[in-house]
A and B are shown apart, each in its own frame.
Chain A
Amino acid sequence: MDRASFERFYERRAPALRSYLRYSCRNRALADDLLQETWLRLLCADLPELEEPELKSYLYKTARSVMIDHFRKTAREQRFVDDDRFDAALESGAGAAQPDFALPDDVRRVLAELPERDRQLLWLAHVEGFSHREIAPLIGVQENSVRVLLLRARERMAALLEDQGMGPEDTG
C-alpha cells in the first residue's frame, strides 16, 4: 500500500475504528494506543492487493487481535505483582481500565447488562454494517451461527431497552 492510498483509507476508516476500540476497551488513551498499533500492524503485514471491504475486514480482525494481545500481556504482568498489592490496587480501582469518557448513564446501564459477545455482535452489525460472513471470523464462530447469535443479542437488547423504559424516541 502506498502512502496516498493508506492516507485515503485511514481518513475513511480511522474514526470508526477508534470509536470501536473505545467501545470495546472503554478507555480513551488505551484506544488511541491500540489504534496506532493496529494501523502499524496493517502497514507492516505482507498483504496482497485487497479490495476495500476485505481490507476493512482485515483491519477489524487486526484490531481485535491487538486488543487481545494487550489484555493478555496486562494479565501476565499482573501475575508478577505481589498478591496483597494487587488486591489493594483492585480495591482502589488503580490499574483497571476505567472509562474516561462519559457514556450517558442509561446507555451504560444497558451495555453493562449485555454479555461481551452480544456487545461486539451488535456493534459490528448495527454500527459497522458488517455482513454475517464478515462477522463470523471476527468473533470466531461459523457464519450460520452469527444469524442466530445476532438475533438473540438483538432480542436481549430490545428487552433491556424496554425494561429501562427507553422507547424508540429515547434510543434515537
Chain B
Amino acid sequence: MTDKTTVSEARVTAFMGRVAAACGRSEPAPDPALIWLKAELARRMEGEKRALRAELPGLGLGAAALVLTLLVSIRWLAPIAVGLGDAAVLAGLPLALAAPLVWFFGFRPLRHAR
C-alpha cells in the first residue's frame, strides 16, 4: 500500500467517524424492554396459531378444497351457460314479437293519419 493510499484511507476513516458522531453513534439506545415484550407477544401468537392448526388438521386442506371448487365450477359452467342463454332467448322473445306489432298497429297508422 502506498503512502498516498494510506493517507487517503486515514482521511476517509476520520471523516466517516465524524459522520457517525453526527448520526448519534454515541447516544444511548431506547429501552429494549418494549421490543422484548412485542417479540414475546408475536412468538406467543405464532405458537397459538401453530397449535390451532395442529388441532384442526382439516384446515390444512384449503388447497384441495380450492381445486375441488374449481372442478365443480368448470363442470357446471356449460349447463349454466346454456341455461342463461335459454333464459335470455325466452325473455327476449316477447319483446322481439312486440316490437313489429307496436310499429304496425301503433306508429304506422299515426304516420298515415298525418
Point out the residue from A10, A32, A107 that lies within 8 Å of B19, measured CB to CB: A107
From A40, A102, A107, give the contact of B18 (CB < 8 A).
Answer: A107
Instruction: List the A residue with the shortest CB-CB distance to B9.
Output: A154
Name the CB-closest residue of B to A36. Answer: B35
Asked if B32 lies at the interface with its beta carbon under 8 angstroms from chain A, I say: yes
Query: Is B29 an interface position by the 8 A CB rule?
Result: yes
| A48 in the interface (beta carbon within 8 A) | no
Q: Is B11 part of the binding interface, using a Cβ–Cβ cutoff of 8 Å? A: yes
Q: Is the interface of A mostly helix, strand, loop or mixed?
A: helix
Closest partner residue, chain B, to A129 (CB atom): B13
B1-21 interface with A by 8 A CB criterion: 7-20
Contact A172–B17 (Cβ < 8 Å): yes
B11 touches A161 (CB 8 A): yes
Nearest A residue (CB) for B4: A158
Give the total number of A-B pairs whose CB atoms are below 8 A apart: 111
The stretch of B37-45, B71-79, B103-111 in contact with A is B37-45
Residue of A nearest to B35 (CB): A39
Q: Interface-forming stretch among A12-20, A51-59, A131-139, A141-149? A: A12-20
CB proximity of A15 to chain B, nearest CB, Å = 5
Chain B hits for A111, CB < 8 A = 19
Residues of B within 8 A of A7 (CB): 32, 36
Given contacts A7-B32, A15-B28, A44-B43, are A103 and B15 in contact (CB under 8 A)? no
A155: chain B residues within 8 A (beta carbon): 8
Distance in Å: Cβ of A128 to nearest Cβ of chain B:
9
Given A7-B32, A171-B14; 8 other pairs, CB 8 A cutoff:
A14-B32, A22-B24, A40-B39, A101-B22, A107-B18, A127-B25, A157-B12, A161-B11
23 CB contacts below 8 A, A to B, read: A6-B32, A6-B36, A7-B32, A7-B36, A11-B29, A14-B29, A14-B30, A15-B24, A19-B23, A23-B23, A36-B38, A43-B35, A103-B22, A104-B18, A107-B19, A107-B22, A122-B12, A123-B16, A127-B20, A157-B15, A172-B14, A172-B15, A172-B18
